[in-house]
Amino acid sequence: MANINIKLKVWRQKDSQSKGQFEAYEVKQISTESSFLEMMDVLNEQLINDGNQPISFDHDCREGICGMCGLYINGRAHGPDLDVTTCQLHMRKFKDNDSITIEPWRAGGFPVIKDLMVDRSAFDKILQAGGFISVNTGGVPDANAIPISKDDAEEAMDAASCIGCGACVATCKNSSAMLFVSAKVSQLALLPQGRIEASRRAKNMLSAMDDLGFGNCTNTGACEVECPKGISVAHIARLNREFLVANLKD
């Protein structure tokens, strides 16, 4: 197990109304087996011991489940590793004396709260706009009452694995939330229980996305590359079809 020294350039911002700036720090003898957030904890301990304000950043589960820990690291959402959240990123991905730039998500729909923390409540509002399903799915014994093909079930489960971290938004040059919205639409659109409100759901969620300041899809595919759960852009195509059908019905 090796230890490395790291130079950090971290975005500091007092609140959403203040002008932010980068500040330089150093963390010495950090274990390469440490996670990125553990390294941030060590840095905050240093700052507190020196009588300075610690760096604010979001985290909760630290297991790649909740999606709260998103940071922009060296120009990439969640850092240089693939299919991981920031909390799953380890310091072995960096070398001794590396310089690391850490920023919050940069998107109009995700205003900065403080330092590296952003307000992700816009995603909650998009989900609320999608509404609920009116079909009673029953309990566990009723699981086979409505046959669903294996391919559809697996694709719906893949879409449902989206954790709403916002990496797709942070990566997109237009700050589009299309990958997030399409995943949430697909997880229901592929199942018979979700078909009744399907048209209304797609239209309402896209309308909410636009109203909350997210941009349009740029078709670069960067969102899929940086998504820690590997959500496919194929879901965006399904969302577009759902939206088209909804408009034709109207």
**To the nearest whole number, what is the mean pLDDT of the chain?**
93
55-77 average pLDDT score: 96
Contact partners, residue 94, CB within 8 Å, separation at least 6: 4, 6, 32, 100
pLDDT tens for each residue of 71-116: 999 999 999 999 999 999 999 999 999 999 999 999 999 999 999 9
**CATH architecture of the domain covering 3-103:** Roll (3.10)
Residue entry with tokens 């011991």:
49
What percentage of the chain has pLDDT greater than the value 90? Answer: 82
Percent of the chain with pLDDT over 70: 98
Mean pLDDT score, 68-72: 96
pLDDT of 6 reads 97
pLDDT band for position 143 (50/70/90)? low
143 CB-near residues (< 8 Å, 6+ apart): none
pLDDT at 193: 85
pLDDT at 160 over 80: yes
| Amino acid 205: pLDDT | 96
Which pLDDT belongs to residue 62? Answer: 95
CATH tag for 120-249 (out of 1.10.1060.10, 1.10.275.10, 3.40.710.10, 1.10.1660.10): 1.10.1060.10
Rounded CA Rg of the chain: 20
Phi then psi dihedrals of residue 36, to 5 deg: -60, -40
* Average pLDDT of the segment spanning 112-122: 97
pLDDT computed for residue 214 by the predictor: 96
Residue 140 has pLDDT above 80, yes or no: no
Name the residue with higher pLDDT: 78 or 198: 78
Residue 183 has pLDDT above 80, yes or no: yes
128-151 average pLDDT score: 81
* pLDDT tens digit sequence for 18-57: 999 999 999 999 999 999 999 999 999 999 999 999 999 9
Domain boundary assignment for the chain: 3-103, 120-249
